[in-house]
Chain A
Amino acid sequence: MKKILFISRHAPYGNSYAREALDALLAASAYDQNLSLLFMDDGVFQLLPNQNPTFIHQKNMAASLQALELYGIENIYCLSSSLIERGLNQTDLILENIKLIDTITTNSLISQQDQLISF
């Protein structure tokens, strides 16, 4: 079993990175590997509640992220400095089991992995 970290660094709308990162991660969950997910940079915008992308003809990313639990992906991290830099509040993020981690912990998380897939 390999440790594979998916890193999601883009905002939920405007381009397809966030959605295709999630698609890849959910597909990967079928293969019995040790998977983790890290939100950083603009990727933290995916975690905001009250997203309403109907008028831009997109699916709601926050709703899609709820599927992570169903797919058994429990190691979900958010780089806290990315929140702070964007003036976002740590208390009202979706995904109850998300772990807020600082830069040093993030460095250690990354260095523990066998593979990184960055979106």
Chain B
Amino acid sequence: MLFSLVILSAPYSNQSSMTAFEFAKTLLSEGHKIHRIFFYSDGIHNATSLSAPPQDEINLPVEWQQLSIKENIDLVVCVAAALRRGLLNDEEAKRYAKPAVNLLDNFEISGLGQLLEAAVVSDRLITFGA
């Protein structure tokens, strides 16, 4: 079955992002496919390149990145939610004349249309963190 996930909560402050990550790994191990993981609302913080947790804790943004590379999963961050919260790629940092870029590689900034497209093409859309 083809799944997409929507993640609305930040890593660490809310368990939901970690639950979503475990769910994603379990889906793949059970033979399902993941079309897209869409990060919206506070979920966009899962895409930061600047998180630096203590060494004995999981760095969830990096875990998402590694999962994306290994399993070829589309990681999409909502542009409106990202800009409001200070998550920028090169293009947006230039556009808004901001001094830094903090979107982790393998995440892509795009619009809410990508959420709708995921809902349309996937068999199941599962929301985490609301």
> Which residues of A line the B interface, CB within 8 A?
2, 4, 9-10, 16-17, 20, 23-24, 27-28, 30-31, 33, 114-119
Contact call A23/B80, Cβ cutoff below 8 A: yes
A116 and B125 contacting across the interface, CB-CB below 8 Å: yes
- Select the stretch in B29-37, B54-62, B69-77, B112-120 that faces chain A: B112-120
For residue B80, which residue of chain A has the nearest CB? A23
Give B128's nearest chain A residue, CB to CB: A118
A-B contact pairs, 30 of them (CB 8 A): A2-B120, A9-B130, A17-B8, A17-B130, A20-B40, A20-B81, A24-B40, A24-B115, A27-B111, A27-B113, A28-B115, A28-B116, A31-B113, A31-B116, A31-B117, A31-B120, A33-B116, A33-B119, A33-B120, A115-B122, A115-B125, A116-B127, A117-B119, A117-B127, A118-B127, A118-B130, A119-B8, A119-B41, A119-B127, A119-B130
Most buried by A among B111, B112, B119, B125: B119
B6, CB-defined interface residue at 8 Å: yes
**Residues of the B chain whose Cβ atoms lie less than 8 Å from the Cβ of A117:** 6, 115, 119, 125, 127
Instruction: Give the complex CA separation of A24 and B111 in angstroms.
Output: 10
Q: What's the minimum C-beta distance from A20 to chain B, rounded to whole angstroms?
A: 5
| 4 further contact pairs, Cβ within 8 A, besides A2-B119, A115-B122, A117-B119 | A9-B130, A24-B115, A28-B112, A28-B115
B119 in contact with A4 (CB, 8 Å):
yes
How far, in angstroms, from A46 to B106 measured CA to CA in the complex?
A: 37
Instruction: Find chain A residues with CB under 8 A from B124 CB.
Output: 115
Contact of B119 with A17 in the complex, beta carbons under 8 Å:
no
| Contacting residues, chain B, for A28 (C-beta < 8 A) | 112, 115-116, 119
Q: Least Cβ distance of A61 to chain B in Å? A: 16
User: Contact partner of A27 among B8, B41, B42, B116, CB < 8 A?
Assistant: B116
A2 contact set on B, CB distance < 8 A: 119-120
Tell me, rounded to whole Å, the shortest Cβ–Cβ distance linking A102 to chain B: 23
A residues near B120, Cβ cutoff 8 Å = 2, 31, 33
Complex: A117 Cα to B4 Cα, angstroms: 11
